[in-house]
Amino acid sequence: MRGRLGRSLPVKLSLTAAPPRIDEQTLVVRGAVPRTNLGGVARSYAGGHVGSAIGASLVKGLNPQPGARAPDTRLRAGDVIAMRLPDAAIDGGDSRPGLKVEGNARVVMLAGNGAVLEDITVSDSVVQVPPHSAIIALQANGDTAEVTGPGQARVAGWHDQSRVVRLAGRSALASGCVIHMDGAAARRQVGWGVAADVVREAAAVSTRFSGPVRCIGVVLRGVEARLPDDLGIELHGASHVSAAGEPVEPVVIQAGARSILLFAVRADSPGGAVSVRVVQGGARQVSGVFGADAELDPVADWVAELGLVAVVARLRAASGDGCAIEWLPAEDG
């Protein structure tokens, strides 16, 4: 007797979550489970609006399918969640999705090429997602904790020891700014890292500030020149403040092998974004960029007195009640 199976079989395939397992006296559960909060520890979460288990458990409305969700979906202060939108290149419709934020949070939205589409701090608001947004990052109570610097001005930015969140291969989230690397590897894991490791392989590093700045500091290693053009420093959205006809010379603070160059700047337009691009290569390495909405002389005194690490605000030093997030799909037109 011979038999033959047809191309179609009356079989139904049901996908279920993997069962838990025991690993060294620890029960490892698959899927969405209640989180354990550790005091003083900020974390990052990578998800997507097409079904990531951890993303669906932390952002309401991501997964339209019924399923288990963690009972505590509120992000603690300092927590960062990053979402990638896979259809950013063709996403140009008039009807826009949004993010509903309950509490205080910093919301950053990037295009596929790393351009910053939105970098704002919101409180109990609905933020519309701009067209062609590829990455959305949100930090609970971000940019609301540390107010530091002369005259209570917040010194935003980063240095080589700062903890930052890599959002993509060429973009990272820092305190009060977004870092973009030219010539860096395109594929890296999303998560916390040290700024020195993030920018090490980049040919140029751009820092875009989310708030107004009147003084900008650039930290370099292996430099001898003093003029911005000779150092490969480019200013976008602002211009240097100097006497008429006089060359732009920074105030230099030497800190060991690092040279901290401070410039007074003026924004080209009120409320406009200001960014600094620094080319590195050979012996010249970028070790940090920071900015403050304060005059140059008080910032110079403060950096010289307290040191760079104490001056620049920390991304992880956020405090508050956290926030809850909900994804609001675009309405069908």
If one compares 13 and 311, the residue with the highest pLDDT of the two is: 311
Per-residue model confidence (pLDDT) at position 151: 55
Q: How confident is the model at residue 100 (pLDDT cuts 50, 70, 90)?
A: very high
Per-residue model confidence (pLDDT) at position 26: 61
Q: How confident is the model at residue 230 (pLDDT cuts 50, 70, 90)?
A: low
The C-alpha atoms of residue 214 and residue 217 are separated, in whole angstroms, by 10
If one compares 47 and 99, the residue with the highest pLDDT of the two is: 99
Check pLDDT > 70 for residue 178: yes
Q: How confident is the model at residue 225 (pLDDT cuts 50, 70, 90)?
A: low
Per-residue model confidence (pLDDT) at position 162: 92
Q: How confident is the model at residue 237 (pLDDT cuts 50, 70, 90)?
A: very high
The predicted model gives 34-43 an average pLDDT of 52
How do strand 59-60 and strand 323-328 relate by DSSP bridges?
A: parallel
Structural domains of the chain in order of their starting residue, each with its CATH number: 43-144+323-328 (2.60.120), 150-160+206-311 (no CATH)
Check pLDDT > 60 for residue 257: yes
The predicted model gives 142-157 an average pLDDT of 65
Highest mean predicted confidence (pLDDT) among 70-74, 225-229, 236-240: 236-240
The predicted model gives 287-300 an average pLDDT of 91
Going by C-alpha positions, the residue among 16, 52, 57 that lies closest to residue 35 is: 57
The C-alpha atoms of residue 59 and residue 49 are separated, in whole angstroms, by 9
Per-residue model confidence (pLDDT) at position 305: 87
Per-residue model confidence (pLDDT) at position 44: 61
Highest mean predicted confidence (pLDDT) among 74-88, 201-215, 243-257: 201-215
Looking at the DSSP bridge assignments, the partners of residue 21 are 28
Going by C-alpha positions, the residue among 110, 32, 45, 117 that lies closest to residue 78 is: 45
Per-residue model confidence (pLDDT) at position 49: 46
Check pLDDT > 90 for residue 270: no
Check pLDDT > 60 for residue 174: yes
If one compares 250 and 282, the residue with the highest pLDDT of the two is: 250
CB atoms within 10 A of CB 298: 15
Per-residue model confidence (pLDDT) at position 256: 78
Per-residue model confidence (pLDDT) at position 255: 80
Least confident of 3-7, 25-29, 306-310, 316-320: 25-29
Token look-up 């038999």 returns 3
Going by C-alpha positions, the residue among 232, 211, 209 that lies closest to residue 220 is: 232
Structure tokens at 192: 């916390």
pTM for this prediction:
0.79
Per-residue model confidence (pLDDT) at position 50: 44
The predicted model gives 76-99 an average pLDDT of 85
Write the pLDDT tens digit of every residue in 22-38: 665 565 655 544 455 44
**Average pLDDT taken over every residue of the chain:** 79
